[in-house]
Structure 1
């Protein structure tokens, strides 16, 4: 299988001189097509920075980031934005839904931004909402949804452009145990079925058996657990 995502000797330093802080230290990870990787570690270990760099939200201080065969480490912000729209789906700890858009329109915004809005995109939105038991909420606004429903909308939105890579930051934080496991299993199944790659940062050890392997991050350094 090909590697959809490669981080090679990545450092991330914030600040300059004596006030600088090294948040990531020689981090390397390869995620294959069809692979679902969990990242665990204590608070302040560098998990969020790691995920932001993997998702082209931040540039590394040193090292290389390769997404779907393309080195993005030194791309312009405009090109990085295109990579995010076309290649990566994000699920954040907070759902980050737009308050004035309905559930259905939250999903349709993604293909509109990527300039590939068409009938197929409309049908994909319908299918994703049905799959996540949100079809009856299609015309609802975020303020009328429960925390769990908002997070499921965010997960559906992440899949809208059929991205090569899914990056999830505590995706079950707003969900009860049963619904959380259902959502993570859906992510895992979709990754396998469509040969995508996924990384999930999580504190919920009950979800780890649904992942192919687990890596541990502490003090900005990554190590393999299983």
Structure 2
């Protein structure tokens, strides 16, 4: 049986508020395999953002374990966790979150510079910009880009470390239906073309047909939808 690229096993997250305990995630289990694109849907406050943060090793669960490529990452040191995120996980944040004083090209170069691969990173950055139709915009700053272009830059940046896992948080939120669909199509294509695993948190039901599975989250619990 194929080992999942990403696995959450009996994951819970709770916070203490005085004498009360607030449960955000409750005994969550999920496996995502190579070449699989999974959508997580649910109402606001259901735990989607917390789920994605734990899946990406940005937040530690209160109970349970997270596995990346078969390795438990829950109890790794901060340094090791940073290395895993840098080398294995690509994040696409809602609203692109580009650095206003960096050009498109320099946005992409942040990760290879941090990873010590500046020269190889330049070649890959140019390749990605070409694939995403941004080659002519490489020297522009974010305020000179359209919403769709900014989101494509965010996708390119997330792919710069050639991650095994892609995590996208509401990638269509600031886009119209046509541009939003194109963005999700780009993610789906990357997943299939390079055999990656991806999770997308979304409210946008218009793009769910591009995903292999849809999982609902309600009151901190995952429910398989299809």
Normalised to the residue count of structure 2, the TM-score between the two structures is 0.96
C-alpha deviations, 1:3-55, integer Å up to 9, x for none?
10000000011235524311000000000011000000000000000000000
Give the RMSD, CA atoms, in angstroms.
1.2
Q: Distance in 1 between matches of 2:78 and 2:17?
A: 22
Question: 1 CA distance for matches of 2:186 and 2:17?
Answer: 43
1: CA distance, partners of 2:91 / 2:189 = 17
**Which residue does 2:33 correspond to in 1?**
32
* Residue 189 (structure 1) aligned with residue 189 (structure 2): yes
Which region of structure 1 is more displaced relative to structure 2, 22-31 or 166-175? Answer: 166-175
Cross-structure match for 1:128: 128
The answer on whether the counterparts of 2:151 and 2:183 sit within 8 Å (CA) in structure 1 is no
Which residues in structure 2 correspond to 1:46-125 (within 5 Å)?
Answer: 46-119=47-120, 121-125=121-125
Moved more, 11-20 or 165-174: 11-20
User: Matches of 1:123 and 1:177 in 2, distance apart?
Assistant: 32
Retained in 1: the 8 A contact 2:11–2:61?
Answer: yes
> SS of the counterpart of 1:167?
strand
Moved over 3 A (4+): none
- Within 5 A, what are the aligned runs for 1:136-175? 136-175=136-175
> 1:77 Cα shift?
1.5
Say which is worse superposed, 126-135 or 198-207, in terms of deviation.
126-135
Q: Distance in 2 between matches of 1:14 and 1:97?
A: 31
Residues in 2 aligned to 1:135 and 1:172: alpha-carbon distance in whole angstroms: 22
2: distance between equivalents of 1:55 and 1:45? 18
Q: Which moved more, 1:183-192 or 1:5-14?
A: 183-192
Alpha-carbon offset, residue 98 of structure 1: 1.1
Secondary structure at 1:110's aligned position in 2?
helix
Q: Name the counterpart of 1:44.
A: 45
CA distance in 2, matches of 1:181, 1:154: 15
Between the two proteins, the alignment pairs up a number of residues equal to: 225
* d(CA) in 1 for partners of 2:130, 2:199: 24
Structure 2 spans left out of the alignment, 5+ residues:
none
Query: Are 1:207 and 2:173 matched, yes or no?
Result: no
